[in-house]
Structure formats: C-alpha cells, structure tokens
Amino acid sequence: MIREVEKIKKYVRAANYLVTTQLYLKDNFLLQRKLSYDDIKPRLLGHWGTCPGINFVYANLNYLIKKHNIEMLFVLGPGHGYPALQSNLFLEGSFEKYYPEATADHKGIAYISKNFSWPYGFPSHSNPGTPGVILEGGELGYALSTSYGTILDNPDLITACLIGDGEAETGPTATAWHLNKFVNPATNGAVLPILHLNGYKISGPTIFGRMGKKELKSLFVGYGYNPIFVEGSGDLVYWSMVRALEKSYKEIRSIQEKSKRKVFKKIEKPRWPMIILKTPKGWTGIKELNGEKLEDNTLSHQIIAKNSKTNKEELEALEKWMLSYRFNELYDQKKGFNKDILDILPPKKLRMGLSPYAHGGKNTKKLVLPSIKPFSEDASIPGTIGSSCMRRAGEYLKEVFELNKHNKNFRLMSPDETYSNKLDAIFKETERAFVWPHKKWDKDISYDGRVIEMLSEHSLQGLAQGYVLTGRNSIFASYEAFIEIVSSMAAQYAKFLSVAKNITWRNEIPSLNYILTSSGWRQEHNGFSHQNPGFISNLIEKNSDFIKVYFPPDGNSTLEVLKECLGSKNRINIISAGKTLEPRWLTPDLAQKEMKNGLMIWDFASNENPDLIFAGIGDYLTKESLAAISILKDFLPDLRLRFVNIIELTCLGIWRNDFNDPDHKFEYYFTSNKPVIFNFNGYTEALKPLLIDKENPERFYVHGYIENGSTTTPFDMQVRNKTSRLDLAIEALEILANKKVIEKEVSDKFINKLNKKLEEHNKYIKDFGVDLPEIENWIWKKNI
C-alpha cells in the first residue's frame, strides 16, 4: 500500500507541473534552461487554485478504477479547472487518441501547453472537444444533477462528480443533493459526490469552507448521505483519500447488491456515500508573494505571479515553484514518463477520458415509436371540438413507455405537473420514482418508476441532459412560464451541442425535448405570474439550426410533432401546446403534410388571390385568427382572405438561407406584397426579427404576448394582448381600408361594431366572471 500511495503522489506532481506549463509557458516547457521573460505567454489566462485538488482526485480515482475494474464517468464541476483535466487526459493517453499531436513526450507537452487558452487552441474551461466531458463547466451549478442523469438505467456505471465549494453555493446544486431520493439501487448506477472544500471563491471565502465538520455532517446526513471526510495537505491526506474511496466503493456495491437480492424489505432511504475533501486553495503552489498570502487564500484562485513576464521577482518565484515538482524525476526525454506514474493508470477501456458513456452512450437502444393513427381523432370536419393536445400526447407517451419498457431508455421529467398538464395517461404504464418512504394513499409512485417529479426545474434539466448525453431519451414537461428558470442552462446546453456537432468522434445523441404547456393564454385563473413565454424567445435568439420550436394547432398535429421530436437526433425540440379542450383542425394526413414543410395554407379557411393573409402560430392564437376570418366573412362575404398555419418557426428560413419548403418559396404562402397579420404564441419582439429580411417587411403586422395579464377570463387574456379575434378583425379592416380594398365608411362601420363588442365583453366578464357565451361556445363555420 505504501508503494501505491507513492505512485499516486508522483502522478499528482506530474499533473500539477503540466498545469503550470499550460498556464504560463510558450517555450522551455521542461525547464532545461533558466526561465526567461520570453518563455512566458503574453496573456496569462486560466485558474490555478482548484487544479491541485482536481489532480489529486483524478489520480486517486484512477487507482480505484484499476484496483476494482470499475466503469466510471468523471463529471467536473469547477469547469475552469480545465488545465488540470487536460493534464490528466494527457497522462492517461485519452487526449492523444483524439489529438494525435498530444503524444506522451516533450512534443506533446509543448502541444497542450502552447494551445491552452490560446486563439483557436483549447479553451480555458471544460468543453465538448474534451474527451470524457459531458458538461461545459463554464457556468456553475449543474454538475451534480447532470451526474445523476447519467446513472439512471446504467446499473454498471459509477459517476464521480467533483463539486467545488463555490459551486455548492448555487441554487441548482443545493436542490440536486435530493436526487438520491429517486435512484433505485437495484436498477440504476451510483453517483459519488466529492465536495471539494478549498475555502475560497474568486474574491472571498466560501460558505461551506467556513462550516465545521459537525455542521457539514449534519447537513449531508439530513440530505440522506453518509459523508466521509478527507482533510490535509501532507502525506496523510493521500492515505486518507485512498481509504475514503475504498470505503465509498464498498458502500455503493453493498447497497446495490443488497437491493438486487432484496435483502431490504423495501428499497427505502439508501444512504449513499459522499466525500468531503478539504485541501488548501492553490495547494503546492507559491506560498507567499509580494508580502501576501497566496496558498490557502482567495489570491490563488486564478493566476498567481501574474506579472512574471515583466517582473523579475515574480518570474523567479514561478521558476522556483515549477522546480519544486522535480519533473525531471518524473519524465525523461528518452524513456518517457516514470513507470510509477503509468502504473496507476487503468486499462485503456476503463480510462475516464475514453468512457463510451460520455461519447454518446454505451449499449444504447433505439427508441421504439408507435404509429400516431391509433391516437388520432376524426377531424374531417374542421373545427369539431375534440380532446386536448396534452391528452393526445399523454396517450401516445403511454404507448412509448410500454413499447420501451424492456429497453429502459425513456423517461419523463416534470416538476410535479404530470396530472395538471393532462399527461397522466402515462400512469397506466409507469409510475413516479421515489425511494424514500411511501404512504398507502400515495398514487402512482413506485421505487422504479420512469417519471421523475421534483419541484426544481434546475434538477430536472440536469437529469435530462445527463440522461440524453449518455444516449437515452427524455421528455421534460413544464408550465410554459416556469421553464424560463432554466433558460441559462438550456443556453449552455445549446452551446455544448453547437460545438459537439463539429467533433467527429462524438456520436449522435437523442434530442433534448421540452413540452411547454399550461401556457399564459390559459393561465388566466392563476394570474400574471403564470404568464410568460420567454423560454421560447431565449432559444430562438440562439441562431442555431438544431433548435426547433413547434406550435401544433391541435391534437392530431401534436402527435405528429411528438413522433418527429422523439425520433430526432442532436437537437433541442420545444413543443408548445395547450391542455384544454379545443377544436380539431387537421386530419392525421394533413398534420403530416404540414409537418413536412413546417407550415401550410389551410384551404378550408382560404381564398385564392387573397387581399389579406392571417398567419397563426400556436393553438389558441390559431383559433383566434380563424375566428377573426369568420367575423370578417360575416361582415364582407366577398372579402378574399387566406389562412396560413405555422407549426415550426424555423420553416420561415431563419438560421439558413433557404425556405423550408423545397417546392415553394416564402411568397407562395405569403405573396410578395399582401398584408400579413401574424398571431403568435410568444413575445411579439421574438418574431419580428425573423421577418425583417423578407420582401416588403413593412406589410407584416405581428400580434403576440405583450406582457399584459392578470387573473381574468381566457378570452380577456387575448383582448389584453391585442391577439383576440376582435382586435385582429379591427386591424384587418383598417389595413383593407388603407389599401382601398374596402371603403373607409364600410371599415369604420364594422370597426365600430367590434369596439362595442369589446365594451360588451369587458362589462360582461366584470358582471359574471366568465366570457360571453358566444365566445365560449364559438365553433368554426365554413363561410369561405
């Protein structure tokens, strides 16, 4: 054992040295001559303080993997510790597999060092171009939830998650500790959280770093863990870490094996191990400089000796620090790296940088998708009142669960809203996972359910990401207004996909799918706080051709969209649809036809050679547009109108130069000169920029959510945001009068009638608390 610990120490010395060459040097990487100003990079970028702890953990994990032949994935929370991660990937040979110039010699050392934090080289943080990485790491808080996503339905996998004590202060991390309560030890893998306390953030102390052992133990025992403490900066900390990892591994396997053998009467409250590691910030670095304490202080967080390119004292301090690692004992230009360093490396197939789980998944199975026809409804007469979009989706997803129950490759995440969102048909086939105490009156709960409900969108987003990135399929269903809380996480994931799609060795992965329902248009009973389509705006802005935003207008089109999204790869799909009883518009064949191009002229509501065009985007907005057409046709039967439904926003040609329909151009649907009134589910300012490059953009009139809402009636939500049938008809009459299509006197006459109807509506809802009967009971009648 003494010999093995010495090997680990040598490995860590080598890794720490390689961190310094990456942070500081553009030449003289082996210090074969005295360090000079010319050897120092012109810009010193990166973070030192967290790197020694990362190297220490990685080395010890390597030893554990080799000893027990473990499949292990490594998720690094402190993303700016990338030079440490790169050092380890370089030492284990994973980097060389994907970057042939990263050879295990002085040329390879020069290659990784020169290119770290260098234009068109390697970024300063973990990224998709890094072998073994599934987490960008540039934004803190997501490591633990992502780790838990990786081990669901991967019973052989242990994911070691290193969490910095700064990251541990974030809201997403705080809630993610509870994800252990959804993991059935008999059917899933395990997460080994390693909380690294080095005491300091960028400019001050961390909360966890100033807590005592008793406080930390109480906290994490309360979370349901068995915390194991490792602390120090000398030889004893190495011995302590080896023992802690060995104990953790044995506890994990014991919990799993007892669960599989059903030694426990119930799989309830398994107390998983975690490690609380306390080492100094900037451990083994410069202790003091210019009269200031560096090691074990906030000043070691980023670059220390930052003036070493121009200041002699700092240059000498840097050289002394680098020489302290005695790298010449660890690496020989002729013989390569010391055998002791190589000896703790696991076999290649088990090295964390080569983990197949991180590069698309291991033993992944294709998702079996049913036909949509058994779940569709008769829509041969447009406007027939049918089921809700979400009821159709729930029935379809139930069948997806049934067809894939043996594959165990599909899960639904929802923040306690599966019933509310009308997706509860899935509970005919599966349940909600929960491995803490059950009560006899609990509904649809089991120890191994395929649905995870938790009132933390952050945790669910992380779970979904980890699950998808390791090759499985998921749906994340949420209230439209509250998914916005993970906009930043989704943006980071989009960045990851954007880079990953150009990395040839990353395999295809299933798409990350969102269902946004309970939209603001029908959150009138909950009020202003529940009315926010901002998540859509955030994703539309990303200018990424792999982001698709769908607005199915009815149940049949929802089924078509759902099947398309679940069968897609390497995308982010957003499905926005309602849960209330609404009209059926499209037969399954027409829904399929519209999905092909993303939009369609609805012939039953359209004339040839139109004077004006309505475009509906979203189920409730589509209904209002069609109702406006009906009103106008009642007033003016000879008026020529067209209705275009847009089911997927990028079909308009945004993010690429071509229009989605290969047989027709934009003008086929919208002409080149006729006015078009868009009625849009989201913020008006999200749609307007997508139309600016079209011909004669001044002819486009965009209606949508304008941040006007309250506790009111469903139709009043449309009125308040100028998306109602009455508002649309008024604008259409004004436009047609200005275009001389109708006389101004005629326009004024009907506008006056519509304004009176708006007044009547306002008075009626104040008196009776519900919408006018003619609004509530409206049905489409063919008058085209």
Give the tens place of pLDDT for each residue, 295-338: 999 999 999 999 999 999 999 999 999 999 999 999 999 999 99
- Domains of the chain as residue ranges with CATH: 2-359 (3.40.50.970), 380-576 (3.40.50.970), 606-776 (3.40.50.920)
Q: Quote the CA–CA distance of 652 and 658 in Å, as a whole number.
A: 8
User: What are the DSSP calls for 431-454, one per residue?
Assistant: -EE--S---TT--SEETT-SEEE-
Per-residue pLDDT reduced to its tens digit, 595-609: 999 999 999 999 999
Residue 261: pLDDT band with limits 50, 70, 90 = confident
Residue 264: pLDDT band with limits 50, 70, 90 = low
Q: Quote the CA–CA distance of 510 and 364 in Å, as a whole number.
A: 10
**Sign of the dihedral through C-alpha 698, 704, 709, 711:** positive
Nearest of 535, 601, 611 to residue 573 by alpha carbon: 535
Angle of CA points 126, 127, 129, to nearest 5°: 125
Question: Has residue 658 got a pLDDT over 70?
Answer: no
pTM for this model (two decimals): 0.96
Specify the pLDDT at position 373: 93
CA distances in angstroms from 606 to 380, 557, 627, 639, 735, listed in the order given: 17, 19, 13, 10, 18
Per-residue pLDDT reduced to its tens digit, 508-547: 999 999 999 999 999 999 999 999 999 999 998 887 889 9
- Give percent above pLDDT 70 in the chain: 98
**% helix, strand, coil for the chain, step of 5:** 45, 15, 40
Per-residue pLDDT reduced to its tens digit, 334-351: 999 999 999 999 999 999
| Interval 406-431 mean pLDDT | 96
Per-residue pLDDT reduced to its tens digit, 91-149: 999 999 999 999 999 999 999 999 999 999 999 999 999 999 999 877 889 999 999 99
Nearest of 363, 463, 341 to residue 4 by alpha carbon: 341
Please answer whether residues 607 and 641 qualify as being in contact, where contact means their C-beta atoms are separated by less than 8 angstroms: yes
Residues 178/182/185/191 CA torsion (nearest 10 deg) = -40
User: b vs e for 426-456, b when ≥16 Cβ sit within 10 Å of the residue's Cβ?
Assistant: bbebbbbbbbeeeeeeeebbbbbbbbbbbeb
Angle of CA points 565, 571, 575, to nearest 5°: 45
Per-residue pLDDT reduced to its tens digit, 353-400: 999 999 999 989 999 999 999 999 999 999 999 889 999 999 999 999
513 Cβ neighbours under 8 A, 6+ residues apart: 473, 474, 475, 476, 565, 566, 573, 575
Specify the pLDDT at position 316: 97
What DSSP character marks residue 278? E
Return the half-sphere exposure (C-beta side, CA atoms, 13 A cut-off) of residue 45. 16
Question: Has residue 265 got a pLDDT over 70?
Answer: no
551 Cβ neighbours under 8 A, 6+ residues apart: 576, 577, 617, 618, 619, 646, 647, 648, 649, 681
Question: Has residue 783 got a pLDDT over 80?
Answer: no
Residue 19: pLDDT band with limits 50, 70, 90 = very high
Question: Has residue 575 got a pLDDT over 60?
Answer: yes
Residue 479: pLDDT band with limits 50, 70, 90 = very high
Specify the pLDDT at position 234: 87
Dump strand ranges (E) for 626-674: 641-646
Per-residue pLDDT reduced to its tens digit, 438-451: 999 999 999 999 99
Q: Quote the CA–CA distance of 587 and 378 in Å, as a whole number.
A: 7
Specify the pLDDT at position 654: 60
Q: Which two three-digit tokens encode residue 140? A: 């803190």
Specify the pLDDT at position 754: 98
Please answer whether residues 373 and 592 qualify as being in contact, where contact means their C-beta atoms are separated by less than 8 angstroms: no
Residue 492: pLDDT band with limits 50, 70, 90 = very high
Residue 643: pLDDT band with limits 50, 70, 90 = very high
Please answer whether residues 127 and 136 qualify as being in contact, where contact means their C-beta atoms are separated by less than 8 angstroms: yes
Q: Quote the CA–CA distance of 721 and 463 in Å, as a whole number.
A: 36
Specify the pLDDT at position 651: 86
What DSSP character marks residue 194? E
Mean pLDDT of the chain: 95
Question: Has residue 657 got a pLDDT over 90?
Answer: no
β-partners of residue 574 are 514, 549
